[in-house]
Amino acid sequence: MPAKVSDGETRGWIIPIGGGEKKVRSSTILNRFVELCGGRDARIAIIPTASRLDDTGDRYRDVFAELEAGHSDILQIETRKDCDDEETLDILKNATGVFMTGGDQLRLSTILGGTPVAQLMRSGNARGLHIAGTSAGAAFIGEHMIAFGRSGATPKSGLATLAPGLGLTNRVIIDQHFRERGRLGRLLSALAYNPFATGLGVDEDTAAFIDPNNNIEVFGSGGLTVIDPSQLGYSSMADVGLGKPVCLTDIKLHILLEGGQYDLVTRTASPAAM
């Protein structure tokens, strides 16, 4: 479950990005994130743990500097022991925003999961800390994380493997690079295991900005696929063999573009104003 919001506090925004976002001054996604974090007063903690590339954190620090964010720190977290580092924890305690880069989401869950860093991110978000993640970072945001799976449009038993995520929200299951890598089937498969959640398939250079009241607004050049299984009438997931197609009925699907909105509480979609 997400950390509880105390009386008088407001939860921070949660921002899954589908990967491949434009890392330039004109990026509507990163500009909006920096604005939420305080603009020139922003203190952004960059977590490149998912990536195995040495320069990933530096590239995002340069981007945030170009966008005139106040200050950015790279948290070099490569092991669970690094999550006990006092300097790292102090940076998180004073941050106004956290940005998790892409890479392998299992590195995030196995290195950060259950550590003081993860606990500070969860409690910080409940006090107003804004947390964004791109690609693997986006997948890790929710309580249920798609760890890996295959492409394809048809849901199948075993197509998606789930693991625990950071748990900033239990309302969504997120899949990234969605349209580009043909991941409709694996998101549907994940939702068949847990029809409570709403599925968010986030295209590249696209973000779902989830506000403190669980309203989503879409930013970026691609689309957000929203899958609502709340009225699921029938699922054969428990009855089919591994790798076999799954029958699902009465699922609602929306495709939203920039400016489109979705209410995760009432499960209603609104297109962008024309």
219: confidence class by pLDDT, cuts 50, 70, 90: very high
* Catalytic site positions: 135, 177, 204
211 has pLDDT over 80: yes
Contact at 8 Å (CB) between 17 and 29? yes
* pLDDT at 110 exceeding the cut of 80: yes
Which pLDDT band holds residue 21 (cuts at 50, 70, 90)? Answer: confident
Which whole number is the average pLDDT over 165-184?
Answer: 97
* pLDDT at 202 (0 to 100): 98
What's the pLDDT band for 139 if we cut at 50, 70, 90? very high
What percentage of the chain reaches a pLDDT higher than 70? Answer: 100
Q: Which residues contact 179 (CB under 8 A, 6 or more apart)?
A: 201, 203, 204, 222, 223, 225
Q: Give the pLDDT confidence of 49-70 residue by residue, as tens digits.
A: 999 999 999 999 999 999 999 9
CA distance 264 to 30: 23
Residue 3 lies in a domain: no
What's 235's domain CATH number?
3.40.50.880
> pLDDT exceeding 90 applies to what percent of the chain?
95
Mean pLDDT, the chain, integer = 96
Asked if pLDDT for residue 220 goes beyond 80, the answer is yes
Residue 270 falls within a domain, yes or no?
A: no
Q: How far apart are CA 169 and CA 229, in angstroms?
A: 17
Query: Which is nearest to 158 in space by CA: 246, 247, 249?
Result: 246
Q: In the Cβ-directed half-sphere of 137, how many Cα atoms lie within 13 Å?
A: 26
State mean pLDDT over 182-206.
96
Report the pLDDT value the prediction gives residue 22, as an integer from 0 to 100. 80
Number of domains in the chain: 1
Q: What is the pLDDT of residues 223-258, one digit of tens each?
A: 999 999 999 999 999 999 999 999 999 999 999 999
* CA 172 to chain CA centroid, nearest Å: 9
pLDDT value at residue 212: 97
Task: Kindly state whether residue 73 falls inside one of the protein's structural domains.
Answer: yes
**What's phi and psi for 228, nearest 5 deg?**
-110, 105
Question: How high is the pLDDT of residue 25?
Answer: 73
Residue 6 domain-assigned (yes or no) = no
Q: What is the mean pLDDT of residues 74-85?
A: 97
Residues 21-45, mean pLDDT to the nearest whole number: 92
Tell me what pLDDT residue 175 has. Answer: 97
Look at residue 128 and tell me whether its pLDDT is greater than 90: yes
Between CA 166 and CA 156 the distance in angstroms is 26
pLDDT of res. 238:
94
Spatial separation of the C-alpha atoms in residues 105 and 140, rounded to whole Å:
6
Q: What is the reported pLDDT for 15? A: 98
Structural domain for 99, as ranges: 14-263
| More confident site: 32 or 22 | 32
Has residue 189 been placed in a domain?
Answer: yes
Residue 76 lies in a domain: yes
**Bridge partners, residue 45, by sequence:** 73, 98
Asked whether residue 24 carries a pLDDT value surpassing 80, the answer given is no
Domain-embedded: residue 130: yes
Q: What does pTM read for this prediction?
A: 0.96
Give domain status of residue 2, yes or no: no
> Contact 64/33 with Cβ under 8 angstroms?
no
Is residue 274 over pLDDT 80? no
